[in-house]
Amino acid sequence: MTAPVDSTSGSTPAAGSADAQKPNSEARTGQPPPPTATPTSTTSKPAKAANGATKPPGKAKGGAVEGGEETLTGAELKKRAKAEKAARRAKEKLEREQAGGGGGGGGGDSAGAGGAGAAGTGQTAPPSAKKGGQAMGAKEAAAIGLQKGQKQAAPRRGSAQVVQQGGGVVEPKKKKEDKKVAVFGHLYGQQRRTTIAGAAKEVHPAVLALGLQMRDYVICGSNARCVATLLAFKRVIESYTTPLGTSLARHLTTHLSHQITYLSTCRPLSISQGNAIRALKLHISSVDPSVPEAAAKASLCDFIDSFIREKITVADQVIATSAAQKIQDGDVIVTFAGSSIVKQTLLTAYKQGKKFRVSIIDSRPLFEGKNLARVLAKAGLDVQYSLVHGISHAIKDATKVFLGAHAMTSNGRLYSRVGTALVAMSAKERAGGVEIPVIVCCETVKFTDRVALDSIVVNEIADADELVTAEPLAQVTGLMDKAASQPEASTTAKKGNNKPAAPSPLTESHAGMRSTASASPLKDWRDTPNLQLLNLMYDATPAEYVDMVVTEMGSLPPSAVPIVHRMSTNS
Amino acid sequence: MPATSAPLTPGLASFLKSLKTNPIDTSIDNLISLLKRRQIRHSRSCATATAYLLLRVISFCRTTDANKLIERVQSVGRRLMAAQPREMVVGNIVRRVLGLIRDEAEDDRDAEFALSDAGSESQPQTPRVLEDPSTPQDRDFLSVRHEGSERSSSRPPLTSHSTNPAPISMFSLLSGPEAESSLPGSPVPGSPSGRVTGHGSVRDIRAEVLDGIGEIIDELGQVDDQIAAYALDHIHSNEVILTHTSSTTVQKFLLKAAAKRKFTVIHAESYPNNHDATHATVSGTVSDEDDNLSFESFQKPLIALGITVILIPDSAVFALMSRVNKVILGTHSVLANGGLVAAAGTRVIARAAKVHQTPVVVVSGVYKLSPVYPFDFDSLIEYGDASNVIGYEDGDLVDQIDVQNPLYDYVPAELIDLYITNLGGHAPSYLYRIVSDHYRKEDISF
């Protein structure tokens, strides 16, 4: 479950926080499944599952009983009914949101969980199975609802929680409410998914893994995410069979939508991912229904391959070559964080025998530049490394600034890792010095027709716990704590009493989380009133700070972005 | 004031404690090594240590001649400044003490002012802003300054009025307060003026100088509160204020305003050199081992007063700047041209504020105001421990790449809109005037 350790240095803090969170979420979402979870008879129809999920709570009760609990007092039943009602509403809301955000995704993931649960009890007893699945799905959705922490759902949410946790640890969760920075209220959609539990059953294992990798920043960076998504989708398409009665062009899009919805719950999709998915969907819908399925699938896979090749692999090579021409002997290149295309550019220039120095500026909490520094230093480049606080020192003797991009907006702004704007600004505002050219390397697949004036309206907010520095030594104890809490949790769960099982692992994991970050004064920030942490992912650099955008279609000023975007999407 | 419990780590508290017992040369060496080892950092700690040391130096300097006294202070000052040239407050305090001595010497030479006996100085000093006039208005100034004591000791001046040569006055004074010097044998650091009586017996000029140093020390203790008094003039309701580092001056400034008004504070965490202190300040948990914090009296965090504090990484400053109404910064030292040397990262913040037309306010005590004109900015910048940037877990990288960890930034004056000192608010272009008020020309480069 823990992210596979990758060369991406950014994964370390992320993994730390993910570890800290995991027991938490497992306690909430992971524990209920044991009685029902023996999956893989995937014949149960998704439609059925979705139906089951929206059925009245009365039947859900039966499902829960089926899930283990034999005797319930009337009050408990009432509470449960209430909880499930709340959960259902939260889930419906979630589905709606996902449908909006994830590019028309169909059934929500929690419905899919219901399906998975139903599969567990098998086809022999369809009604009860349906109910069981539904109960589980509802519970899961309740958990998601909790994570989302919607304001209007607060009272209902509270009651659901009381049932779930036996009224134990309501306090810290409630505090989450005001942990949202007011200005960015619109960006706190749903919290990132913490487990694969509750993912729609249509979601392909490759996509499941990819989602978690993206969440943990194992796969990080606009290009990497785009390529990984496309490759995963290729596998989805390869293992896809068109159900009877539908056509591939119609059904595959909805099938992909499940994958996309799942991915977007792990981490909001990048612009490049969105563009790639749009192109893929366009291609799918243009598949002729008369073409046999195998041929259609082959053509789709070809399309994906050629998309990756044309838009990213070859594009990167073209950009690297043309950007490397801008580097001269004796240059001091400043770059920010770890852009793959900038890395390629610098390596290309180095291979061409150019002698220059690289100054990498890095930032918390991802430290992506560390990875870049390591690669460049291994290749033999002269690398200098400092953090954001050293920008003005690094820029002092710089001659050029190379920046990567997450996206280029249609008004010419560069939307990139937070801190990029500071670097570009410093390059342009050097006191009494000559302005330093700022060169952005960006594939056209990252161009978007959206516009942005500031970094507030459109942005992504990552988990603020990533900012709480965890000591590596203390993390060991935290992990051990979690391990200790695990068996206890399962024993309580085995008693068949799902709901009261939740609090103990939760408190345990909470303690584990504390010991993880014991060194930091921020460890209790969620319990500290009025204190908020903000972990932005991107910022928008004004167009006037960017001198040149190097793309595979040539080097342009930022004002040319919308034109090129139109050209590349129309062709 | 020094901590009551003996601190284990050498620092300001341990230095002040040892100052009482150690011989003066040991104390000087002690401070020099503390400065060199960076065991005393932070402007105020350096300033306080220097002031107390000079107090000690002067009170132990058995000389009658002002010039010798100046030479002595200069030689000590040179050594201290050489120990840590980038702690400009050390030089500032030395210069101010030199200025004090010169003032007193001139007064003395003019012989307008009759020498009052030092014993009457034991009354506590009225806390007031030190306004050393650049042109000493001999009698007027001093009579104002010691108005309280003048009344009681109005008799002696009349008798000693004719005895203008210095040696005579010294002999006449020796008889009186000599006995007193044994009374506060080990002066209590709690009241600087108590010390003045202890050792200011040899010669009046020294008593005055010690008195002046006492006032400097008083000023160091009160400067934050004096600056904070201006807070309500500068912060209005519902403002969004961005700040950086865990400066106590800024915190007190904001706290003062928070008592009356509601606003939001965005706090950049100043990773990697000051983030722990910043986190502690923001969340109100004080780490005991921090010398600086134990020196400061414990204060409530802003969040306890209902102020919303948003902690952000430094990189998000630009993204948020469009929402910020005012940037309030602390500083390490202020230079004569209105520029400042502040914690690394300040410059980009000030720059981002300028780009967004957000006013930048710097709060700083006058003692941080240095007469040094920065011809070479790089010489002002100190570089810190690289392991803060790349930890030991990435040790393989350290061999291959050049890791930089600058501690300070030079921020040019044009990025600053307003300075708030304990004397009030000033435009950066006005600072030269305050410099010339506080330091004498002949001391600027000694």
B418 neighbors B426 (Cβ within 8 angstroms): yes
In chain A, residues with a C-beta closer than 8 Å to the C-beta of B306 are 530
CATH 3.40.50.10470 fits A325-457+538-570, yes or no: yes
Shared domain check, B256 and B217: no
> What span, in angstroms and rounded, lies between the C-alpha atoms of B341 and B380?
7
Identify which of A365, A383, A387 has the shortest CB distance to residue B401: A383
Identify the helix (H) or strand (E) that includes residue B334. strand B333-334
Supply the pLDDT for residue B146: 41
Q: Contact B272/A431, CB-based, under 8 Å?
A: no
> What span, in angstroms and rounded, lies between the C-alpha atoms of A13 and A312?
28
Of A290, A210, A207, A211, which Cα lies nearest the Cα of A255? A207
Supply the pLDDT for residue A164: 41
Shortest Cα–Cα distance, A419 to chain B (Å):
4
What is residue A516's DSSP assignment?
H
What is residue A461's DSSP assignment?
B
Shared domain check, B322 and B403: yes
Q: pLDDT tens across B290-336, in order?
A: 444 444 445 678 888 889 999 999 999 999 999 999 999 999 999 98
In chain A, residues with a C-beta closer than 8 Å to the C-beta of B320 are 183, 455-456, 534, 536
Shortest Cα–Cα distance, A385 to chain B (Å):
5
* Residue B394 confidence (pLDDT) above 70: yes
Identify which of B276, B323, B412 has the shortest CB distance to residue A431: B412
Q: Contact B348/A422, CB-based, under 8 Å?
A: yes
Q: pLDDT tens across A294-308, in order?
A: 899 999 999 999 999
In chain B, residues with a C-beta closer than 8 Å to the C-beta of A394 are 404
Number of domains within chain B:
2
Q: Which of B195, B222, B249 is the last residue of a domain?
A: B222
Supply the pLDDT for residue B165: 42
In chain A, residues with a C-beta closer than 8 Å to the C-beta of B351 are 392, 425-426, 429
Provide DSSP, B50-67.
HHHHHHHHHHH-----HH
Shared domain check, B268 and B196: no
- B347 to chain A: nearest residue by CA? A392
Q: Contact A540/B319, CB-based, under 8 Å?
A: yes
Identify which of A181, A425, A459 has the shortest CB distance to residue B318: A425
Q: Contact B284/A528, CB-based, under 8 Å?
A: yes
- A9 to chain B: nearest residue by CA? B394
In chain B, residues with a C-beta closer than 8 Å to the C-beta of A9 are 394
Supply the pLDDT for residue A77: 66
Q: Is residue B6 part of a domain?
A: no
Identify which of B354, B396, B402 has the shortest CB distance to residue A383: B402
B374 neighbors B335 (Cβ within 8 angstroms): yes
Mean pLDDT across chain B: 76
- Structural domain of residue B282, as residue ranges? 229-444
Shortest Cα–Cα distance, B6 to chain A (Å):
24
Provide DSSP, A383-418.
EEEEEGGGHHHHTTT-SEEEEE-SEE-TTS-EEEET
Pairing, β A414-417 against β A538-541? antiparallel
Shared domain check, B33 and B83: yes
For residues B278-310, one letter each, b for 16 or more C-beta atoms within 10 angstroms of the residue's C-beta and e for the rest, the string is bbbbbbbebeeebbbbbbbeebebbbeeebbbb
In chain A, residues with a C-beta closer than 8 Å to the C-beta of B338 are none
What is residue A446's DSSP assignment?
G
Shared domain check, B303 and B169: no
Give this complex's ipTM: 0.76
- A459 to chain B: nearest residue by CA? B319
User: pLDDT-based confidence at B441, cuts 50/70/90?
Assistant: confident
Supply the pLDDT for residue A249: 85
Q: Going residue by residue through chain A, which has 571 residues, state the pLDDT in tens, using 9 for 90 and above.
A: 443 433 333 333 333 343 434 444 443 443 444 443 334 343 344 444 444 444 444 444 444 444 444 455 566 666 676 777 777 776 666 655 554 444 333 333 333 333 333 333 334 334 444 444 444 444 444 444 444 444 443 344 334 343 344 333 334 444 445 678 888 888 887 777 777 777 778 888 999 999 989 988 888 889 999 999 999 999 999 998 888 888 888 889 899 998 999 998 888 999 999 999 999 999 998 888 888 888 999 999 999 999 999 999 999 999 999 999 999 999 999 999 889 999 999 999 999 999 999 999 998 888 889 889 999 999 999 999 999 999 988 988 899 999 999 999 999 999 999 999 999 999 987 656 678 999 999 999 999 989 988 888 888 888 888 888 655 433 333 344 444 444 444 433 344 444 333 333 333 344 334 333 346 778 778 888 888 889 999 999 999 999 999 999 999 999 999 999 888 887 6
Q: Contact B397/A373, CB-based, under 8 Å?
A: yes
Q: pLDDT tens across B202-227, in order?
A: 446 888 888 899 999 999 999 999 99
Shared domain check, B241 and B191: no
Q: pLDDT tens across A114-132, in order?
A: 333 333 333 433 444 444 4
Q: Contact A363/B287, CB-based, under 8 Å?
A: no
Residue with tokens 């700070």: A545
Q: What's the CATH code of the domain at B338? A: 3.40.50.10470
What is residue A165's DSSP assignment?
H
Q: Is residue B1 part of a domain?
A: no
Shared domain check, B96 and B74: yes
For residue A64 the two structure tokens come to: 């829960």
**What average pLDDT score do residues B234-260 get?**
91
Shared domain check, B289 and B159: no
Fold identical between A202-316 and A325-457+538-570? no
Of A512, A421, A370, A524, which Cα lies nearest the Cα of B272? A370
> What span, in angstroms and rounded, lies between the C-alpha atoms of B186 and B26?
17
Shared domain check, B209 and B318: no
Q: Contact A422/B318, CB-based, under 8 Å?
A: yes
In chain B, residues with a C-beta closer than 8 Å to the C-beta of A183 are 320, 323
Shortest Cα–Cα distance, A558 to chain B (Å):
19
Pairing, β A407-408 against β A531-533? unpaired
- ∠ CA B277-B279-B285, rounded to 5°: 85
Identify which of A182, A374, A536 has the shortest CB distance to residue B397: A374
In chain B, residues with a C-beta closer than 8 Å to the C-beta of A521 are 276, 279-280, 282-283, 285, 287
In chain B, residues with a C-beta closer than 8 Å to the C-beta of A389 are 270-273, 314, 343-345, 406, 409
> What span, in angstroms and rounded, lies between the C-alpha atoms of B219 and B228?
14
- B349 to chain A: nearest residue by CA? A422
Domain boundaries along the sequence of chain A = 11-199+463-527, 202-316, 325-457+538-570
Shortest Cα–Cα distance, B393 to chain A (Å):
9
> What span, in angstroms and rounded, lies between the C-alpha atoms of A551 and B349?
31
Residue A22 burial (CB count, 10 A): 19
Q: Contact A370/B352, CB-based, under 8 Å?
A: no
Select from B245, B315, B380, B388 the residue whose CB has the most chain A CBs within 10 Å, as the one to mutate to test that interface.
B315
Q: Is residue B80 part of a domain?
A: yes
Identify which of A467, A524, A529 has the shortest CB distance to residue B313: A467
In chain A, residues with a C-beta closer than 8 Å to the C-beta of B315 are 363-364, 388, 417-419, 422, 539
> SS3 breakdown of chain A: % helix, strand, coil, rounded to 5?
60, 10, 35
**What average pLDDT score do residues B271-279 get?**
83
For residue B227 the two structure tokens come to: 């600056």
- A369 to chain B: nearest residue by CA? B390
Supply the pLDDT for residue A83: 72
Residues with Cβ within 8 Å of A327's Cβ and at least 6 positions away in sequence, in order, are: A333, A345, A346, A349, A354, A356, A400
Supply the pLDDT for residue B342: 92
Total CB pairs under 8 A between chain A and B: 184
In the chain, the amino acid numbered A246 is T
Identify which of B311, B318, B406 has the shortest CB distance to residue A390: B406
> What span, in angstroms and rounded, lies between the C-alpha atoms of B302 and A530?
9
> What span, in angstroms and rounded, lies between the C-alpha atoms of A508 and A529?
23
CA B362 distance to own-chain centroid:
15
**What average pLDDT score do residues B80-90 get?**
88
In chain B, residues with a C-beta closer than 8 Å to the C-beta of A392 are 347-348, 351, 409
Q: What residue spans of A102-221 are helical by DSSP H?
A: 109-121, 126-148, 154-165, 170-175, 205-215
* Ramachandran assignment for B100, one of left (phi > 0), alpha (psi -120 to 50 degrees), beta (any other): alpha
* Residue B61 confidence (pLDDT) above 90: no
In chain B, residues with a C-beta closer than 8 Å to the C-beta of A524 are 283
Residues with Cβ within 8 Å of A186's Cβ and at least 6 positions away in sequence, in order, are: A457
Q: Contact A181/B269, CB-based, under 8 Å?
A: no
Q: pLDDT tens across A241-285, in order?
A: 888 888 888 889 899 998 999 998 888 999 999 999 999 999 998
For residues A530-559, one letter each, b for 16 or more C-beta atoms within 10 angstroms of the residue's C-beta and e for the rest, the string is bbbbbbbbbbbbbbebbbbbbbbeebbebe
Shortest Cα–Cα distance, A388 to chain B (Å):
6
**What average pLDDT score do residues B427-445 get?**
87
Shared domain check, B131 and B40: yes
* Residue B280 confidence (pLDDT) above 90: no
Supply the pLDDT for residue B12: 83
Q: Which of B202, B222, B242 is the last residue of a domain?
A: B222
Supply the pLDDT for residue B229: 92
CA distances from B85 to B28, B82, B90, B343 (A): 16, 5, 8, 16
- Which class would CATH give A202-316? mainly alpha
Write the burial class of residue B39 (CB in 10 Å: 0-12 exposed, 13-18 middle, 19+ buried): middle
- Provide φ and ψ at B334, rounded to 5°: -115, 140
Shared domain check, B270 and B237: yes
> What span, in angstroms and rounded, lies between the C-alpha atoms of A265 and A260?
9
Shortest Cα–Cα distance, A123 to chain B (Å):
53
> What span, in angstroms and rounded, lies between the C-alpha atoms of A295 and A305?
15
Q: pLDDT tens across B28-52, in order?
A: 998 999 888 888 888 888 999 999 9
Residue with tokens 């998914």: A193
Identify the helix (H) or strand (E) that includes residue B290. none
Supply the pLDDT for residue B226: 92
Q: Which of B171, B188, B222 is the last residue of a domain?
A: B222
> What span, in angstroms and rounded, lies between the C-alpha atoms of A214 and A246?
32
In chain B, residues with a C-beta closer than 8 Å to the C-beta of A421 are 318-319, 352
* Residue B194 confidence (pLDDT) above 60: no
Shared domain check, B395 and B350: yes
Identify which of A181, A363, A373 has the shortest CB distance to residue B401: A373
Identify the helix (H) or strand (E) that includes residue B362. strand B360-363
Identify the helix (H) or strand (E) that includes residue A526. none
Supply the pLDDT for residue B8: 56
In chain B, residues with a C-beta closer than 8 Å to the C-beta of A540 are 319
